[in-house]
Amino acid sequence: MELLTDELLRRFAEIGSQEGKGDDAIVVAKFFTPDSSWTWYATEYDPAAREFFGLVDGHDVELGCFSLDELEEATGPHGLHIERDIWWRERRLGEVRDDVVARRLTSGLDDCEVA
């Protein structure tokens, strides 16, 4: 699966930097491991560095950078590659984070840290 389409590249370029927007930043794309619980929500993309910025839901829930190259190369515990959520619709970062934290609390992952 192509993780970063031309349409997404255009959308990231259109939105540009969302620094300082906090919870009002727009999550443009969602990537996930189909055979584990890791999910990446991208708010920005730097094509020169091939690097995203956004919310990572892994061992903890935190904001940070993640590499397109690493997403393309990584596999989950059963060897499945990371996929892009083709049904994703843009949402505010605050809404996404609230949903992630609520899901983790109801699934028994309530000892996670939110950075």
Domain count, the chain: 1
Give the pLDDT confidence score for residue 108 in this predicted structure.
72
Q: What's the one-letter identity of residue 28?
A: V
Q: What is the pLDDT along the chain (115 residues), one digit of tens a residue?
A: 899 999 999 999 999 999 999 999 999 999 999 999 999 999 999 999 999 999 999 999 999 999 999 999 999 999 999 999 999 999 999 999 999 999 999 887 655 555 5
Query: Would residue 114 count as lying in a domain?
Result: no
Give the pLDDT confidence score for residue 110 in this predicted structure.
55
Give the pLDDT confidence score for residue 73 in this predicted structure.
97
pTM: predicted TM-score of the whole model, two decimal places: 0.92
Those residues with Cβ within 8 angstroms of residue 44's Cβ, 6 or more apart along the chain or in another chain: 12, 15, 16, 17, 18, 25, 52, 53, 54
Give the pLDDT confidence score for residue 114 in this predicted structure.
52
- Cα–Cα distance, 58 to 39 (Å, whole number): 7
Q: Which domain holds residue 40?
A: 6-18+25-106
Query: Would residue 115 count as lying in a domain?
Result: no
